[in-house]
Structure 1
Amino acid sequence: MSEIIKIDSIDNNGRGVARRDGKAIFVDGAILNETVEANIYQKKDSFEVATATRIIKESSARVTPRCPNYGVCGGCSMQHIDPSTQVAVKQRTLEDNLWHIGKVEKAKVLPPIHGPYWGYRYRARLSVRYVRKKNDVLVGFREKKGRFVVEMDTCPVLAKRVSDLIPSLRACLNNLSCREDIPQIEVAVGEETVVLALRHMVPLSDEDTQKLLDFAKKHDIVWWTQSKGLDTLKPLLTNSSDSHKLYYDIPQFGLRMFYEPSDFTQVNPFINRTLIHRALNLLEIESSDRVADLFCGLGNFTLPLATMAKEVMGFEGSETLTERAMQGAKIHGLENKVSFTTLNLFDVDKEWLENLGFFDKMLLDPPRDGAFAVCKALTEMNPSLRPKRIVYVSCNPSTLARDVDVLVNSGSYKLLSAGVINMFPHTAHVESIAAFDLVC
């Protein structure tokens, strides 16, 4: 059913929102202050969902999407909105969560962390599907509405080297005998090396292996393969030095971070460098500080912290990552200032924290589930052992708000400042950073 709708706000997913008889109508492809003709395709008791089919009155924030697959591809949801408005939407999402869900007093709003809007994505999982009717292999993201793979030859948010490679990659995979048994490719782009990790459900024949090697040589990439679980992930050429060249630099601290395709690293290396700088500035590190970095991963924050503080302890749930982080510390001569411990940070308590002793500062960088157990332990531990300053890097505003509620409304900490990190331009994904000071 089609009708004329006036949009009066934008939701957290970048959809236009209208109201009729107390019911919300979420409109894909519409922007604040627009009047659109929309097709309503879902009706519930409290809301309806629609797609804009014609723009009657256009917003000044509307721009032409750069991607020819925008609207079909599920990779982006905000390319039709100018970048500054995208960030404003994310900032409002963060503030709504903090002030209304976290129930804290309004604090200083930090300037957004910006970076390139295109070619920023250095990590990605690309779906692969052989289509019999087309006798062709599709490589890309899944469609916005459905499980099909988008037919794409370019992707403007992917690193340019990878985007330019898609047509040749499709042709290469289409020539493999196992083309029907390849579900996905993991992309990891380092400073020098592009790694494509091929997931294959059947063993690679010698002929297929040679075709992959020929492709790698021609296009200057490195193949890794995975036949089953992550423990089977390995370089296609196991004796190749190329398998050890995947790294990213943190130049302001003189650090080079080596990693493998299965390791967690930030998707956007440009934003990551700025984020590290801001996090350490907010912590106000002094040379005498003892610092804890929880959910430390490869040591993305730990090693920069170790160049400034007296002692840094990193804690992480993955033993593989803590081992890699310690290797990085040794490479940079920081092994006497830093240590790493593997443990489940979702199951810690005040006794564990108290046994670690006093930390001057603490950095939290949890996954989407947040850091509830850590925050609860901080509020329950001996007040004399609580860190004086906490910086929390979040990839989920709702769990951040929950954890802020625990830290602040217990009377233990005060929220000093918070701001968005535009890690994923053209998507509704909200990353943020917040700083807290000890109250008691």
Structure 2
Amino acid sequence: MSKRKPKPLPPEIEVEIEGLTHEGRGLTHFDGKATFVDYALPGERVRMRYTRLQRSFDEGVAVAVLRASPDRVAPRCPHFGICGGCNLQHLDPAAQIRVKQETLADVFTRIGHVSPAAWLPPLVAGHWGYRRKARLGVRHVVKKGRTLVGFRERGTPYLADLRRCEVLHPLVGERLVVLAEAIDTLSIRDQVPQIEVAMGDGPCVLVFRVMAPPSAADLEVLQGLADEHGFHCYLQEGGVETIRALPGHEVELHYDLPKYGLRMVFAPTEFTQVNLELNRLMLDQALDLLDPQPDERVLDLFCGLGNFSLPLARRAGEVVGVEAEAGLIARATANAQRNGIANARFETANLYADLTDQPWMRGQYHKVLLDPPRTGALEVLDWLPRLGVQQICYVSCHPSTLARDADRLVNALGYRLVSAGVMDMFPHTAHVESMALFERVPG
């Protein structure tokens, strides 16, 4: 049976852009049908080329801007529009953060049926070279006769042909070609699918995922790469347990929190925030909102390696951090010991499962810090009133699940949304990080 031929795409048309979606795409309507237009901004008139037809909506891309928005700027990266790593470089950074705040306000109203009593000023740090954690694809492309290193093309499974990346830390972002040329000389160049970049305030680690053992000559190439450019090279032949440094390359990754007298150590594949400058601002705001006191107990749920727990412990009487991953709990405990913190302890628990028998659930807590993954924290919310929690600082990486959880906290569990605001953790992308403070309503 022959396949049905795809319906031919309509010719290019001129459209007025009415708004911006939460994914950063222009929104228009044509013949009563919603159409999402890449690289178009609200208020613009553009010539659009259709890229996909759906039953309930269509998709397209702006091929010419006929009337530009005052917020439109020239993208800094020559690969913008091809690489899928960024999708908002054509929008002024001040407008980007404004759009993110509008996104948060929209989901609070539409999904959460709540509104904060006050909006927090947006947290903004540097816009370029901020990214210190990344997973880069690697592929030798026969038709190009060379290896590519970087991110995928927008909307395709293929790697973009990148010469540089403006959002990666310059030590890596300016050396993508250097990395590609080094891999091109390896005997196992077709067996290196990925490089993981890990960097704090000090050295930069590159973890090369290898599907076959490198030869002695391959190791010499990686050694030369490290010597010339200041990298520390690791190999990963299987799971994370197989990661090992090349001889003489082992290094302790860390980031500092000078305001709290802390040095946070982490392994290359352990989760840390990609934007260290913004992370410091985020910690300051969280502690200002919660204002932990020496006689208070604070619970840090989804605590990771202690990014919030240890600063909180500098001011609170006691902090209990809880996280599902045992390795991160071990790391948080070690970071507490390294920094001389005796009033923080850490427990391993699946926070999406029944918590009834957890020993840390037997006490009472004054305040809670929530920093869940994209799926949110709905499963733990009903426990918080039972634990006596009066204040909740919720750090979110997905505004829709924050809004859903805000609905539960405010409209079912007796809390009020005191304040909320966005944080520009990922400039030039539509990704929205935010923070909200909830307080228990008396009585």
- TM tier, smaller: over 0.9
**Aligned with residue 155 of structure 2, among 106, 126, 145:** 145
Cα deviation per residue 1:190-227 (whole Å; 9 max; x = unaligned)? 21201000001111111111211121112111011111
Asked whether the equivalents of residues 318 and 342 of structure 1 are also in contact (C-alpha less than 8 Å), the reply is: yes
Asked whether the equivalents of residues 350 and 377 of structure 1 are also in contact (C-alpha less than 8 Å), the reply is: no
| Ranges in structure 1 where 5+ consecutive residues have no aligned partner | none
Is residue 307 of structure 2 the alignment partner of residue 300 of structure 1? Answer: yes
Is residue 361 of structure 2 the alignment partner of residue 355 of structure 1? Answer: yes
Map of 1:325 onto structure 2: 332
Report the Cα distance in structure 2 between the residues aligned to 1:364 and 1:406, rounded to whole angstroms.
14
Report the Cα distance in structure 1 between the residues aligned to 2:33 and 2:410, rounded to whole angstroms.
34
Map of 1:372 onto structure 2: 378
User: 15-24 or 189-198: which moved more?
Assistant: 15-24
**Aligned with residue 275 of structure 1, among 279, 282, 291:** 282
Q: CA separation of 1:21/1:267 partners in 2, compared to 1, >3 Å: closer, same or farther?
A: same
Map of 1:36 onto structure 2: 46
Report the Cα distance in structure 1 between the residues aligned to 2:40 and 2:16, rounded to whole angstroms.
9
Asked whether the equivalents of residues 392 and 437 of structure 2 are also in contact (C-alpha less than 8 Å), the reply is: yes
Q: CA separation of 1:258/1:312 partners in 2, compared to 1, >3 Å: closer, same or farther?
A: same
Q: CA separation of 1:60/1:211 partners in 2, compared to 1, >3 Å: closer, same or farther?
A: same
Runs of 4+ in 1 over 6 A off after TM superposition: none
Asked whether the equivalents of residues 9 and 16 of structure 1 are also in contact (C-alpha less than 8 Å), the reply is: yes
Asked whether the equivalents of residues 116 and 420 of structure 2 are also in contact (C-alpha less than 8 Å), the reply is: no
Report the Cα distance in structure 1 between the residues aligned to 2:187 and 2:355, rounded to whole angstroms.
53
Cα deviation per residue 1:83-142 (whole Å; 9 max; x = unaligned)? 111111111111111121011144311111000000000001100000122221100000
Asked whether the equivalents of residues 25 and 50 of structure 1 are also in contact (C-alpha less than 8 Å), the reply is: yes
Map of 2:419 onto structure 1: 417
Q: CA separation of 1:167/1:224 partners in 2, compared to 1, >3 Å: closer, same or farther?
A: same
Report deviation, 1:250: 0.7
Report deviation, 1:149: 0.7
Is residue 406 of structure 2 the alignment partner of residue 396 of structure 1? Answer: no
| Ranges in structure 2 where 5+ consecutive residues have no aligned partner | 1-10
Report the Cα distance in structure 1 between the residues aligned to 2:392 and 2:424, rounded to whole angstroms.
21
Report the Cα distance in structure 2 between the residues aligned to 1:371 and 1:352, rounded to whole angstroms.
17
Is residue 59 of structure 2 the alignment partner of residue 49 of structure 1? Answer: yes
Asked whether the equivalents of residues 386 and 438 of structure 1 are also in contact (C-alpha less than 8 Å), the reply is: no
Map of 2:6 onto structure 1: none
Number of residue pairs matched by the alignment: 432
Map of 1:316 onto structure 2: 323
**Aligned with residue 427 of structure 1, among 419, 426, 429:** 429
CA RMSD of aligned residues (A): 1.4
**Aligned with residue 192 of structure 2, among 176, 179, 182:** 182
Report the Cα distance in structure 2 between the residues aligned to 1:355 and 1:154, rounded to whole angstroms.
49
Asked whether the equivalents of residues 235 and 246 of structure 2 are also in contact (C-alpha less than 8 Å), the reply is: yes
**Aligned with residue 99 of structure 1, among 90, 104, 109:** 109
Is residue 174 of structure 2 the alignment partner of residue 168 of structure 1? Answer: no
Map of 1:345 onto structure 2: 351
Asked whether the equivalents of residues 350 and 378 of structure 1 are also in contact (C-alpha less than 8 Å), the reply is: no
Report the Cα distance in structure 2 between the residues aligned to 1:47 and 1:106, rounded to whole angstroms.
33
Report the Cα distance in structure 2 between the residues aligned to 1:420 and 1:353, rounded to whole angstroms.
34
Is residue 121 of structure 2 the alignment partner of residue 111 of structure 1? Answer: yes
Map of 2:268 onto structure 1: 261
Q: CA separation of 1:227/1:19 partners in 2, compared to 1, >3 Å: closer, same or farther?
A: same
Is residue 214 of structure 2 the alignment partner of residue 212 of structure 1? Answer: no
Map of 1:17 onto structure 2: 27
Asked whether the equivalents of residues 355 and 361 of structure 2 are also in contact (C-alpha less than 8 Å), the reply is: no
Asked whether the equivalents of residues 300 and 322 of structure 2 are also in contact (C-alpha less than 8 Å), the reply is: yes
Report the Cα distance in structure 2 between the residues aligned to 1:23 and 1:419, rounded to whole angstroms.
33
Q: CA separation of 1:321/1:354 partners in 2, compared to 1, >3 Å: closer, same or farther?
A: closer
Provide TM-score, normalisation by structure 2: 0.95
**Residue pairs, 1:193-272, within 5 angstroms:** 193-237=203-247, 240=248, 243-272=250-279
Provide TM-score, normalisation by structure 1: 0.96
Asked whether the equivalents of residues 348 and 377 of structure 1 are also in contact (C-alpha less than 8 Å), the reply is: no
Report deviation, 1:350: 5.8
Report deviation, 1:351: 6.3
| Percent identity for Structure 1 against Structure 2 | 44
Q: CA separation of 1:354/1:199 partners in 2, compared to 1, >3 Å: closer, same or farther?
A: closer
Map of 1:134 onto structure 2: 144
Report deviation, 1:282: 0.6
3-state SS of the aligned residue for 2:202? coil
User: 75-84 or 216-225: which moved more?
Assistant: 216-225
Report deviation, 1:325: 0.8
Report deviation, 1:21: 3.9
Is residue 407 of structure 2 the alignment partner of residue 405 of structure 1? Answer: yes
Report the Cα distance in structure 2 between the residues aligned to 1:392 and 1:320, rounded to whole angstroms.
23
Report deviation, 1:41: 1.9
Report deviation, 1:376: 2.8
Cα deviation per residue 1:386-421 (whole Å; 9 max; x = unaligned)? 211100000011111111111111142111011001
Asked whether the equivalents of residues 44 and 67 of structure 2 are also in contact (C-alpha less than 8 Å), the reply is: yes
